[in-house]
Structure 1
Amino acid sequence: MSITKSTAVSKLKATLSACLAQVKAGEEIIVTERGKPIAKLIPFSPDHSLLPSHLIEMVRAGLIRIGSLHLPDGFRDMPRPADPQGAGITAVLEERAEGR
């Protein structure tokens, strides 16, 4: 759930960086002029319509970040972590069996 705050245009001008940091953290800011709302600052998000609502809420709460779909150069050439007991594959197979 996002938090909605309001601020006057004059205060927004003086504290823009701080306001933008709040928006990046998932808050919404209503911009007012002479006490009347004129704009709303909300976090920018690519097409979130494809994401489940619980993930969108986690993004807004700052618990997770959505990936950029870009892997760094050389990523696929990096060594894979060792898993001698097979814990990773076991966890995946258990999740599949449970239908998660």
Structure 2
Amino acid sequence: MLKQLESLWGWLEEILPPALAVIAFGLLFLIVIAINVFIGVLIGTFVGWVVSITPLGAIVEGGFIAIGLNGASGHLTQIGGMLGFVAGFFKGTIECKYTRRKNNGR
């Protein structure tokens, strides 16, 4: 991701004066964060709704209420949206790399 940001910065510096390039880069960065947060809220709300219609929904809701995450009415869709909102800020920094190990004859 750092290489993409560096290439974007270089491209902005070529076509804009330095002050405008900084402003444009900052605005693009804020737009990307806003999109991540919006997607996080949508996914969290959807997952909360799916869990609420399963037989485990009441148990999960009771667990959240027991630890104090009951919100206004304790609906899992609201709790999922809240957790998705928080996770949306970190979505751009979380990276998972998978490397396949060789079997070494075993």
Structure 1 length as normaliser, TM-score?
0.28
Structure 2 length as normaliser, TM-score?
0.27
Q: Which has the higher contact order (CA 8 A, sep 6+)?
A: 2
Specify which structure has the higher proportion of helix: 2
